[in-house]
Amino acid sequence: MLNLVLFGPPGAGKGTQSQKLIEKHGLIHLSTGDLLRSEISQGTELGLEAKKLMDHGTLVPDEVVIGMISHKLDANKDAKGFIFDGFPRTVAQAEALDQLLASKNAPILGMIALEVNDDELEQRLLLRGKDSGRPDDANPEVIRKRIKEYNDKTAPVAGFYKAQNKFKSINGIGSINEIFDEIDDVIAAY
């Protein structure tokens, strides 16, 4: 199974690159942000609780996202592989993912990180906020909070995969196709 984690701060291009990867390799895209926004648009209790945190740029509790991912893994038993986008975002989530995948004998092949500096991220997110309709993209204060959450809680997840020799990082600034080619080269070398 081709199980990959696409890693990087908000605005690094994970969603865009995930889309191209699932097209090329026939994988299932698991974005916890998308799953949470779908809960919000369906007006579920989980969605309403998550929205309060997401609107402030704060991470939702680990058990909520781990539960959603576990459910999706079970619902896609015949998948060729998964692209995890925006998950795991804490070391506890990474540990839980390893456990979930161990029970399926399909470990993470690697984590690919897209490196983009904070100024560029802020610009990209503000631009995206103009037409994405996402309230968390439209407000500079919330954007900075999301980047801070990333630096405090999510950046350490890289160390988790480095310790397993699974971490690769590439420059996330450039054209979409150039970055995709680099990601694909990394995948081919795994």
For ligand AMP, what does the binding mask look like between residues 108 and 147, x meaning CB under 6 A?
Answer: ----------------------------x---------x-
b/e per residue 108-145 (b: at least 16 CB within 10 A): bebbbbbebeeeebbebbeebbeeeebebbebeebbee
Nearer to ligand AMP, 59 or 179 (CB): 59
How far apart are CB 185 and ligand AMP at their closest, in Å?
Answer: 25
Cis-peptide into 88, omega within 30 deg: yes
Q: Does 28 bind ligand AMP (CB under 6 A)?
A: no
Say if CB 89 and CB 157 are below 8 A apart: yes
DSSP 60: P
Say if CB 64 and CB 46 are below 8 A apart: yes
Nearer to ligand AMP, 51 or 168 (CB): 51
Residues that bind ligand AMP (CB under 6 A): 10, 32-33, 36, 53-54, 57-60, 65, 86-87, 89, 93, 136, 146
Q: Which residues are catalytic?
A: 14, 89, 128, 134, 146
